Structure 1
């Protein structure tokens, strides 16, 4: 997921992926018949990891603030966010990638709806907030920590007439 997140499906190195997994490149291709199959498996796993992170150690019910915190922790790590951005942009021209992303997104919707027991409009707001976080993190906006809402942090930055866009962060 890290390699595909950093370099995309075309630029990722299967040699680096095999080395990172501690296996030979030959064995990698015994497990996955092609680089594309490996990429699609990484996309599927990214959605599974997102769903697992949202579930956390929660019992049956979770609150939106809890889920937001879990999601912020997940995307601020960088690798998953990068892969998500490649997936969503690639889905525009790739029906197979689009289908995997659509199924994954639907599972996340169902997870959030099931954990919160919230009406559809609130689940939609939560997912829209998550997509906004994706964009803010990708653009280098610092997300607040603790109880401060991301909106107030962004509002403060946007209202400062002297503010410059945040400097881009070096790749981890």
Structure 2
């Protein structure tokens, strides 16, 4: 079996951290749990990252990057309504197939709010910057229209809330989004 490089190990820590933080949040997740999931010691974990906050920040950045890449891939060569539908479908597939992405997003927003309330604005700035890159990834294919982008992102946030609360896709609450969802059991536009 080939030995992992430090960069490969770092990547595995970020993926494990996303999973653990998605489930337990920043304060409810121990670095011991992350190290155990990866199969490394805590001291090794801290050779890769200076502290727990740096691990959480790396997991947050990865979560936003993964979403941007999903949007960008979905809209290649598309604009307007076709881009809107492609991104909506890509996003709903992403959070359906990888619930950690949804949970990690929600944990990021909670962590930013807590950090801001405590006077720590650095983490919030980093997450806001990543979120604005996500906004821009959606904005241009939607025609550069701020209202269209706002509506698209607002629907995404409502989808986050409904999915996090556990509303099954066949529930009537989804009808306004995707009328066919009740018939197919999937959130395809």
With normalisation by structure 1, the TM-score equals: 0.78
CA distance in 2, matches of 1:57, 1:71: 9
Aligned to 2:84: 64
CA distance in 2, matches of 1:44, 1:29: 18
**Cα pair distance change 1:84/1:135, threshold 3 Å:** same
- What is the aligned counterpart of 1:131 among 157, 162, 187? 157
CA distance in 2, matches of 1:57, 1:127: 16
CA distance in 1, matches of 2:74, 2:153: 20
Deviations along 1:30-55, whole A, 9 cap, x unmatched?
A: 01011111111111111111111111
Structure 1 vs Structure 2 CA RMSD: 2.1
**Cα pair distance change 1:78/1:150, threshold 3 Å:** farther
- What is the aligned counterpart of 2:94 among 50, 55, 74? 74
- What is the aligned counterpart of 1:142 among 152, 168, 173? 168
Structure 2 residue runs without a partner (length 5+): 1-17, 116-120, 183-189
Deviations along 1:113-141, whole A, 9 cap, x unmatched?
A: 12333411101110000000000001111
- The alignment partner of 2:26 has SS state of helix
Structure 1 residue runs without a partner (length 5+): 157-172
Aligned to 2:141: 115
CA distance in 1, matches of 2:164, 2:106: 9
- What is the aligned counterpart of 2:128 among 79, 102, 108? 102
Query: How many residues end up aligned between the 2 structures?
Result: 151
Judge conservation of contact 1:5–1:79 (CA < 8 Å) in 2: yes
CA distance in 1, matches of 2:30, 2:114: 22
Aligned to 1:92: 113
Stretch moving more, 54-63 or 77-86: 54-63
Q: Where does structure 1 differ by over 6 angstroms across 4 or more consecutive aligned residues?
A: none
Question: How big is the shift at 1:68?
Answer: 0.4
Question: How big is the shift at 1:149?
Answer: 5.6
Judge conservation of contact 1:87–1:97 (CA < 8 Å) in 2: no
Check if 1:55 corresponds to 2:72. Answer: yes
